[in-house]
Amino acid sequence: MKTVQIATLLDDRLLSKGKSTRVVWAVSFAMSMALLLLPWLFKLDGKPHRDWQQFLGRFHPLVVHFPIGLIVLVPMLEIAGACRPALREAAGFVLGLGFIGCLGALTLGYLLAYGSGTAGPGVTRHMWGGITLTIGVLVCLLARPWWMSGTVPHVYPALLTCVLLVLVWAAHEGGSLTHGNNYLTEYMPAPMKRWLIFGTVQPQMVPGSFYAAHINPILDANCVTCHGEHKVKGGLRLDSYGQLMEGGNSGPVIIPGKPGQSLLLTRVTLPPNHKQFMPAQGKPPLKPEEIAWIRAWVLDGASPAATTVRGISIREKAPEPPLVPVGDYSRMMPEIRQMANGQGAKLMLVSKKPSDGLILNTADVARSFDDAQLAQFQKFAPYIVEADLGGTAVTNASFDTLGTFTHLRALHLERTAITGDGLAKLAPLSQLTYLNLSGTKVTKAALAPLGSMKNLRHVYLYNTPAQPAPVAESTHAIARNVP
């Protein structure tokens, strides 16, 4: 009688366990089908929906790293579990947490794309990567008990390997959406690029045109991450001239000849805290000169082939001149060291090579350092390549001494009392490339002699009577502003 009762009890437990297994498989199948149908139930059509969806979705980049770390940890626990069984028990728990994390990250990611109206091939690939990964982790959870019991020894390891490969692919697609599709390959050695056939074909454009040289680089650097081939927000792509002129869900963004009615210019000139300000996602605004170039280009007809635009004069950046070595100042090193240990101005070594020159530093005594003290450094003139006189008491008389610094490359005169009279004495300094006159009384007329200095390309005039108005020139032209 007792044997019959035990047998009946065992049959009931097996039956109960069989029913539980069938329920688990049925629920898993239903969940997998729901995930596979998600893109059709809520289609990513490039149209924005609800703000609350975007709000929740923006937690996706934060949450997504949780399941990634857990999934990577699982195979390490399984391998280590061969020696320590407790770790193998932990692996099952970690795998279950990884599945829950995948569900959460997938939900938030979908809310982000659906709510913000983000679409495109890159978004689609990343979405399917997340769905495939989530289903793969679920199947691993179902197959693991068979592997633990030895019933089916090879299925679970194979599935786990596939899950790791999908994880790498999905993570790469997600990184491409955030940092651009060439983030990992931008600095890859050329032979490796050719071997792996990485990179994308650049949009065709007219070589040498104003659009190719100036407008497209602005859009590529600031806008294509969200409005490119792999990610398309608002149905707008800006990675080629044709896509730019086609516009997006809100209509054309460029209307030739009408910059005031061009949506692109409207968005980039909004206050940075405005909801529709572009570039979005915390990126810095376009520079004033970049906006000026786009506005002038649109006003002139937004041509893809024109090489010039009325009202725009851009001075191209020339290569820096080669550094000319200075003489050997080794015999003066005792005096230079004594100066370094003192309380006055100091001469600092650019490097251990004497031919690299010296730097005149007045930071410790700036307020009391005047023309007479500068004159005491004239014996070091052939070796000084940079003079930091910012905030000192030097006047226009200092140009007599500075004109003898024949190897001078950088000169700081900001926040001094100079007015610019005597700047002509710097004309013989053929190595001078940098001159900071900000916060002085220098006038535009006083700058005229600097126009003959071909290597001088960085002249800063902030808060001076000669400060240039915000015109449509390049950064170098605005900084220089030398007649």
Domain map of the chain by residue range? 42-192, 210-299, 330-480
Cα 409 off chain centre by: 31
- pLDDT for res 76: 92
| Percent of the chain scoring above 90 in pLDDT | 11
Q: Is the dihedral of CA 335, 337, 341, 343 positive or negative?
A: positive
HSE-CB at 265 with a 13 A cutoff on CA atoms is: 23
The third-level CATH classification (topology) of the domain covering 330-480 is 3.80.10
Confidence of residue 400 (pLDDT cuts 50, 70, 90): very high
The whole-angstrom separation of Cα 68 and Cα 142 is 19
Report the Cα–Cα distance between both ends of the chain, in Å, rounded.
113
Distance CA 38, CA 109 (A): 12
Tokens representing 331 are 């015999």
Instruction: Name which of 220, 219, 237 is nearest 228 in CA terms.
Output: 237
Q: What is the arithmetic mean of pLDDT over 36-43?
A: 85
Token pair of 335, please? 């005096």
Q: Does the structure show a pLDDT above 90 at 162? A: yes
Q: Which ranges constitute the DSSP H helices of 180-268?
A: 190-196, 210, 216-222, 241-246, 263-268
For residue 478, pLDDT over 70 is answered with no
- The single-letter code of the amino acid at 193 is K
φ, ψ of residue 226 to 5 degrees: the values are -100, -15
Mean pLDDT of the chain: 79
Cβ atoms of 114 and 53 closer than 8 Å: yes
How does residue 245 score in pLDDT terms, banded at 50, 70 and 90?
Answer: confident
The SS3 of residue 334 is helix
pLDDT tens by residue, 407-441: 999 999 988 999 988 888 998 888 898 898 888 99
